[in-house]
Chain A
Amino acid sequence: MYMRSVQFLMLTGLFIHCAVINAQSPGLGTPIDEIDIAAWNIDVLPDGTGLPSGEGNAVQGKIIYEQKCIVCHGLNGQGGISPALAGGEPLSNGIDTAKTIGNFWPYATTIFDYTRRAMPWFAPRTLTDNEVYSLTAYLLALNNIIDQEDIMDATSLPAVEMPNRDGFIIRFPERTP
């Protein structure tokens, strides 16, 4: 009788344990709240999801650019040891045409995202959100996409119409959601 009880308890215990974990997973992940991932979660999506509060314009951005960016990307975004960010020839000039923000990038949000996560190269993620908005505005203005005084923020940036927005063909549509 005693052994039976132990077996019964073991069986029910095992049953309960199985019921709370996924059948295919040992369930060793530790639950975490989104707020505790916030410091890592710096993704900005094309519709503006993830853009922080803050703002800036090209006039402010030019000052920051000439302090922190010009050494690699050159005067007025013309390129140096790092790629050119402004200008650019028509893409119909050849498959090896240099890609710039003006002639290629389809979404303005990509400028904010990459600048915030990866620049400056020697000290990534040290720019304030206002600085990133200002630099994004400066790069857009250099490419004559917005005006010098236009304010870039979480609302205006995703609404910027990039010149090459419709310049793409999905290579594998059957595999692309």
Chain B
Amino acid sequence: MSKHSSIDSFRDLRPAAANGLYDRRAFLKGGTAFATAIGGYTLSETLNAQSLVDDPWSASAGTPTGPYEARSRFENSVVRTMTNPNGEPRSQQSRTPHHMLDGTFTPNGLHFVISRSGPPDIDPDQHRLAIHGLVKQPLIFTLDSLMRYPMVSRMAFVECGGNSAPMWSPEPLDANVQALHGLVSSAEWSGVMLSTLLEEAGIEPSAKWLIAEGSDSLALHRSVPLSKALDDAMIAMYQNGERLMPGNGYPMRLLLPGWEGNMNVKWLRRIELVDQPAMSIYEARTYAPILPGGKAYQFYFLQEVKSFITHPSPGLLLSDHGFYEISGIAYSANGRISKVMVSADGGESWAEAELQAPVLPKAFTRFRIPWQWDGGPAVLQSRAWDEAGYVQPTRSEIVAARGEASRVPNVNGFPSQHYNGPTSWQVNQTGEVKHVYA
């Protein structure tokens, strides 16, 4: 069979939008029509059919299975990037390699981490959580005691308020999806609802906020409206089924589904109910984005609706013409993703992508759409809607409202925060993908 037979199959299908986008349900309807489609992102030439022989790894028994599974040695390049590997006295960021992952949750070893002074080495038996302030009875909890409470599991994304910050650049950057959007990840979190513990302590009527504080060396603290704490906040102790990773707050963190990552305080040791916000450095200074004209937003709680294409994206060479699946990630603090549109011609025409079920609120939603690359130039772009009716703004809309950086920033820099505009990937005729504005 020819590797190009998939092109013939496509001739019978009606395009959903220009430049090779096909109906999102083509696979579901078409069945075997794509049986010979090229599967993905090999960096080498697709093999021609040839006679098969036993491979060397089939000739003898394999290796013993270890107590904790390690991935194939061929996957060792799938790693986070690090901005401060030697632990200098500044924050460190590790970014998720979205272009090398699929699905809707992030493996624990690849979940993004921002740490201001390095994860503390916490003995879980010695760790304590105090709840005090404007409560009827201050309480202290051990990890053992919290483990006896009714638990809840839910998928939720966590995103740094500074994720996508390079997109404030006035010019496109020579950067991949990991560099641009690697400070967001999604996981299944399990723990105790914070409302349960607050009700046990007894909330005084004058309480309006809580201050959450970690046991890291900087005792990082953030103010959270009590209404969010009573809505869906969780004291999370498990991440994708196992205890939290140290970088994600072991042994417990505050989880505020959909809200600014920095507020999801890690290594949580103290919650104080108060009548006013603390105006901690992170809410008074760091995560208060400056607006055109000189005012600044304060309390930018929500990580608003956003999407980006992970496949294809820079670093993934399109080795041949023909079929590719365009896929990516969408999420919103305002609930479920309701629709993702994809363009292959820089926003001139759009087709609706398939949303991978289940579509869960405040969690990653994977979108997919078939694409036939004819070898010509293409600009791929996605745009998401959420169930609350919010739509990802166009780049011109977000720049009009929020401005852009006065100079091209370092790709690891944070010229501003809370960018949720679209991302455009240009595919050139050699199959290379790069970041552009379109």
Binding site for B on A (CB under 8 A): 22, 24-34, 37, 40-47, 49, 72, 81-82, 90-97, 99, 104-107, 109-110, 113-114, 117-118, 121-122, 124-125, 167-172, 175-177
Contacts and interface: CB of A to CB of B under 8 A. Distances in A.
A95 B402 contact: yes
Contacts of B297: 168-171
B149 interface: yes
B201 A29 contact: yes
Contacts of B279: 45-46, 106-107, 109-110
A36 to B, nearest CB: 8
B182 interface: no
Q: Which DSSP category, helix, strand, loop or mixed, fits chain A's interface?
A: loop
Contacts of A92: 293-294
B141 A30 contact: yes
B403 A40 contact: no
Contacts of B409: 96
B285 A117 contact: no
A31 B290 contact: no
B302 interface: yes
Contact of A170 (B137, B138, B298): B298
Contact of B296 (A24, A42, A93, A104): A104
A101 to B, nearest CB: 9
A95 B270 contact: no
Interface in B193-246: 196-197, 199-201, 208-209, 211, 213, 217-221, 225-228
B406 A93 contact: yes
Contacts of B367: none
Given A29-B131, A105-B285, A107-B284, A47 B276 contact: yes
B289 interface: yes
Nearest to A90: B294
* Chain B contact patch, size range: 35 or more
B416 A175 contact: no
B285 A28 contact: no
B269 interface: yes
A42 B219 contact: yes
Interface in B285-341: 285, 288-302
Given A26-B149, A28-B146, A172-B300, 16 more contacts: A28-B145, A30-B140, A37-B130, A46-B278, A81-B88, A81-B89, A92-B293, A95-B416, A96-B409, A104-B288, A107-B284, A113-B281, A118-B217, A118-B219, A169-B291, A172-B301
A176 B416 contact: no
B25 interface: no
B296 A113 contact: no
Contacts of B272: 41, 43
B89 A121 contact: yes
B280 interface: yes
B291 A32 contact: no
B122 to A, nearest CB: 15
Residue from A27, A82, A95, A121 whose CB has the most chain B CB atoms within 10 Å: A95
Given A26-B149, A29-B140, A169-B297, A175 B228 contact: yes
A24 B406 contact: no
Nearest to B129: A29
Given A25-B199, A28-B141, A110 B289 contact: no
